[in-house]
């Protein structure tokens, strides 16, 4: 009986005993918001495991910052090289630490949970992946794992009509490290992973990540084994998909800028109407001037006072020429 009680207590307490060690530091963040995000840590790790097939049970040092200026100071102290005030968060593999910029996340109307998933995926890479992987692949996986449709829609809601030239993965890699190209390059890395999932399936991506977690793993051989296509060949597939997406990007740009286009169209119509009105007015004035020039309303040659043939019409003398065929014209009677 005692053994049964001990076994029951052990099973009941085992989740608590095996719970992840999570330390949360909150700076300019309310207690309610801190608790809300802290409660999402384990579900986020579970989501990452389901998406990637790799489980990370390591500890977590989570820092939540509610002020962008304070976040920038912390980022500089941690030697984060990007424009810190625009960074949503970052992860430090060795320290098992994640720092979230809640102010920037709120300004961009994104979900803190998606950014948390993103940064925890970086920690998973540091803990599980043994191969050297390109940055575009790691960032693409993190963006793929976020899996918040609304955030992806917001991030791509203002597409560029003309996109930067990214002919290969090497250029995409460089773009992720340059501030002026980072925004577009992150969306492109997301597109690459979504393309791979659409063409080869989620199981293929999970297999790739599992191969990359093995000792002495190499990225390109593992990529071909898991997806059944070499990296250079997939690069061509990606470029062809980008070309096919030109019309899609055009419609997305039109949709994102619909009200601006409507306003510009109305402004053009108004300017055309104003120009036509001015042109009509100018022609009317010109016609009046020609009429006054060639057909004066009160010509001096039409008057001759004191003449026997003049008639009064409203107080104006009008002279009539005799017409031999019509003797009645000489009649002054009305």
What digits encode the pLDDT tens for the residues 248-267? 555 555 555 666 667 777 88
Is 0.75 surpassed by the pTM of this model?
no
Of residues 20 and 37, the one with the higher pLDDT is: 37
Q: What pLDDT, on the 0 to 100 scale, is given for residue 7?
A: 42
Res. 270 pLDDT band, cuts 50 70 90: confident
What digits encode the pLDDT tens for the residues 148-173? 645 545 555 555 556 788 999 999 99
Q: What pLDDT, on the 0 to 100 scale, is given for residue 16?
A: 43
What digits encode the pLDDT tens for the residues 60-116? 999 999 999 999 999 999 988 766 556 899 999 999 999 999 999 999 888 999 999
Q: What pLDDT, on the 0 to 100 scale, is given for residue 51?
A: 95
What's the average model confidence in pLDDT over 233-240? 96
Q: SS in 3 state form for the chain?
A: CHHHHHHHHHHHHHHHHCCCCEEEEEECCCHHHHHHHHCCHHHHHHHHHHHHCCCCCCCEEEEEECCHHHHHHHHHHCCCCCCHHHCCEEEECCCCEEEEEHHHHHHCCCCHHHHHHHHHHHHHHHHHCCCCCCHHHHHHHHHHHHCCHHHHHHHCCCCCCCCCCCCCHHHHHHHCCCHHHHHHHHHHHHHHHHHHHHHHCHHHHHHHHHHHCCCCCCHHHHHHHHHCCCHHHHHHHHHHHHHHCHHHHHHHHHHHCHHHHHHHHHHHHHHHHHHHHHHHHHHHHHHHHHHHHHCCCCCHHHCCCCCCCEEEECCEEEECCCCCCCHHHHCCCC
What's the average model confidence in pLDDT over 26-31? 96
Of residues 186 and 83, the one with the higher pLDDT is: 186
Res. 15 pLDDT band, cuts 50 70 90: very low
What's the average model confidence in pLDDT over 188-199? 94
């Amino acid at each position: 009986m005692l053994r049964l009680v001990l076994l029951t207590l052990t099973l009941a307490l085992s989740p608590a005993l095996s719970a992840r060690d999570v330390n949360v530091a909150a700076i300019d963040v309310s207690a309610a918001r801190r608790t809300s995000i802290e409660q999402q840590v384990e579900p986020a790790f579970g989501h990452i495991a389901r998406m990637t097939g790799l489980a990370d049970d390591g500890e977590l040092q989570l820092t939540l910052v509610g002020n962008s200026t304070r976040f920038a100071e912390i980022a500089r102290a941690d030697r984060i090289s990007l424009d810190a005030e625009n960074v949503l968060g970052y992860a430090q593999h060795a320290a098992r630490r994640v720092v979230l910029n809640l102010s920037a996340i709120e300004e961009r109307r994104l979900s803190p949970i998606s950014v948390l998933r993103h940064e925890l995926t970086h920690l998973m890479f540091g803990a599980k992946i043994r191969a050297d992987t390109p940055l575009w692949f790691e960032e693409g996986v993190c963006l793929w794992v976020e899996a918040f449709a609304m955030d992806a829609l917001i991030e791509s809601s203002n597409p560029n009509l003309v996109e930067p030239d990214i002919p290969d993965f090497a250029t995409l890699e460089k773009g992720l490290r340059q501030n002026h190209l980072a925004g577009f390059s992150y969306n492109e890395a997301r597109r690459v992973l979504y393309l791979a999932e659409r063409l080869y399936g989620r199981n293929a991506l999970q297999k790739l990540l599992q191969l990359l977690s093995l000792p002495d793993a190499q990225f390109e051989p593992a990529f071909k084994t898991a997806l059944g296509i070499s990296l250079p060949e997939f690069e061509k597939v990606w470029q062809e998909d980008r070309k096919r997406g030109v019309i899609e990007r055009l419609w997305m740009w039109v949709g994102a800028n619909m009200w601006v286009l409507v306003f510009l169209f109305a402004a053009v119509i108004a300017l055309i109407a104003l120009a036509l009105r001015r042109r009509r007015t100018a022609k009317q004035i010109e016609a009046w001037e020609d009429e006054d020039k060639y057909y004066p309303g009160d010509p001096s040659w039409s008057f001759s006072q004191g003449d026997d043939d003049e008639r009064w019409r409203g107080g104006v003398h009008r002279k009539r020429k005799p017409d031999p065929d019509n003797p009645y014209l000489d009649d002054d009677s009305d």
